[in-house]
Amino acid sequence: MIDRHESFSGYGPIRQGQEFDVKALETYMASNVKGFKGPIKVNQFKGGQSNPTYLITTDNKKYVLRRKPSGNLLKSAHAIDREYNIITALAKTDVPTAKTYALCTDESIIGTWFYIMEYMEGRIFWSYNKIPMKDRAEIYNSMNQAIANLHKVDYKALGLSNYGKSGNYFARQISRWSKQYEASKDRSYEITEKLIQWLKDNIPENDETTIVHGDFRLDNIVFHPKENRVIAILDWELSTLGHPLSDFSYTCMIWRFPNTFLDGLYGENLKKEGIPTEEEFIEMYCRRTGRSHIDNWNYYMAFNMFRLAAIVFGVKGRVRDGTASSDQAKATAEMAVPLSELGWRQVNR
C-alpha cells in the first residue's frame, strides 16, 4: 500500500486508541506460542494505518504482532488471516518470510483478530537514498531475485489452489477496486473514471496465474544486517493468486514516479545513483522467470496506478469516517487523484 509503514523499523509507545489488554495477550501467548516465556513489553511500530503492528519483547526473544484495526472496515480489507496463511505456507519455499507462531480469531483477547510472527533483525530502507551507494546494485538485484522466486512457486503443490481465483485477473481486480473507489469516494472524479473505463476496454489477452504479493516494494522488505540480501518480505495483506506481471510492474512503478512523489526514480541519473534502470530491472526478471520480453507494459503500469489510487480512496474514506485520523492518513488521502492522473499518463504513452 501507499502507506509506507509496514516494517519492523521504528517504534515507540502504543498510540492512543490502539491499546489492548497486554496481560490477556501474555496469557494467550503462554498457551499458544511454542517456547514463549513472559513477561512481555509491548511497543508499537510507527505508521500502521492498515494493520497496526506491535513489537512484543521478552527477556530472551522478540515477536511481531499484526492486528486488524478497530471500527467499521471494508469487507475485503485488513485480511490478516490471509497474511498468516500465506507466510506460513511459503516457509516451505525459497521465498524469504518471517516464521509464524499463532493466528487468533477470538476478538475477546485484544479486541480484534491478530497473528504473531518472529521479529526479523535486519535493515529496512524507506527509500533508495537511504541505501549506501556501494550497496544499491546488490540490494536491487536481491529484490529482483525475491519477486522472481515468488512467481516461480508452485502454488498448487503448496495446497494454495483456493488462495484466490485462477484466470481473468485484471477484469476481477478492476471490478474489485472500482467498487472500493465507489464505496469510498466523496464525489465523482472524472480522471479516475476515465482510467477505469480504459482499463476495462484494453485488458491484455495473455493470462497467467501465480502467487502475487500485491505490495512488493523496497520498504516492505527486511535485508540481512550486513549482507545485501533479502531475509523477509513483509505485509502480505493484498496477496492472492493473480497475474505475475501485475505484481512485478507494481514494483517497477517507482521508476515512473517523479522524485517528488513517493521518492520516485523518474528523471534521476540512475547510473550515478548506482541503481539499475527500469529496462535493466525488467531484463533481470525476464531472465530469472524464463521470459524473452514483456508486452503491454504501459497497461500494467496504468492498472497498478489505478489500483493504488483505489486503495488511497479507501484511506480517504476512512479519514472521512473517522477510522483513520492520523496526519499520515490525511496526507495519504490527498494522493488519490494525483495517482489517477499518473495512471492516465501511462495510457497516453
pLDDT digits (tens, 9 = 90+) for 75-105: 555 678 999 999 999 999 999 999 999 999 9
What is the mean predicted confidence (pLDDT) over 298-313?
A: 95
Q: Please list, in sequence order, all residues whose beta carbon lies within 8 angstroms of the beta carbon of residue 197, skipping any fewer than 6 positions away.
A: none
User: For position 317, what pLDDT does the model report?
Assistant: 80
Checking if the pLDDT of 252 tops 50, the result is yes
What cell was used for 1? Answer: 500500500
Instruction: List the strands of the sheet with 41-45, edge to edge.
Output: 11-12, 41-45, 53-57, 62-67, 114-118, 100-104
Q: Among 54-63, 147-156, 310-319, which stretch is predicted with the lowest mean pLDDT?
A: 310-319
pLDDT over threshold 80, residue 312: yes
CA distance 84 to 276: 33
> Once rounded to an integer, what is the mean pLDDT over residues 65-74?
73
Render pLDDT for 141-179 as a digit per residue (tens, 0 to 9). Answer: 999 999 999 999 999 999 999 999 999 999 999 999 999
Confidence of residue 26 (pLDDT cuts 50, 70, 90): very high
Closest CA relative to residue 115, chosen from 74, 181, 167, 67 = 67
pLDDT for the residue numbered 89? 97
CB 169 within 8 A of CB 206: no
Q: How confident is the model at residue 260 (pLDDT cuts 50, 70, 90)?
A: confident
The answer to whether 115 touches 79, Cβ cutoff 8 Å, is no
In the predicted model, what is the mean pLDDT of residues 33-61? 89
Helices and strands per DSSP (H, E), number in the chain: 11, 10
Amino acid found at 106: D
Q: What is the pLDDT of residue 320?
A: 78
- Give the chain's mean pLDDT: 90
**pLDDT higher than threshold 80 for residue 47:** no
The pLDDT score that the predictor gives to residue 349 is 80
5-17 pLDDT, tens digit per residue, is: 444 557 888 888 8
Cβ proximity of 185 and 110 under 8 Å: no
Q: What is the pLDDT of residue 125?
A: 93
- The total of other beta-carbon atoms located within 10 Å of residue 28's CB is 19
Better-scored residue on pLDDT, 260 or 60? 60
As a whole-number percent, the residues of the chain with pLDDT over 70 amount to: 93
Q: What mean pLDDT comes out for the span 205-232?
A: 95
Overall average pLDDT of the 227-255 stretch = 95
How many angstroms from the chain centroid is the CA of residue 277?
A: 22
Q: Is 322 exposed, middle or buried (0-12, 13-18, 19+ CB in 10 A)?
A: exposed
The pLDDT of residue 49: 55
Residue 256 is which amino acid? R
| Averaged pLDDT for residues 225-229 | 96
- What is residue 116's DSSP assignment? E
User: What is the pLDDT, as a whole number, of residue 4?
Assistant: 46
The average pLDDT across 344-349 equals 91
To the nearest 5 percent, what fractions of the chain are helix, strand and coil? 40, 15, 45
SS3 184: helix
How far apart are the C-alpha atoms of 55 and 157, rounded to whole Å? 33
User: What is residue 79's predicted lDDT score, i.e. its pLDDT?
Assistant: 78
Compute the distance between CA of residue 146 and CA of residue 232 in angstroms, rounded to an integer. Answer: 9
Cell 476515465 belongs to 194
Q: What is the pLDDT, as a whole number, of residue 5? A: 41
Half-sphere exposure of 81 (CA within 13 A, CB side): 8
Is 23 exposed, middle or buried, given 0-12, 13-18 or 19+ CB atoms closer than 10 A? exposed
Quote the pLDDT of residue 3.
46
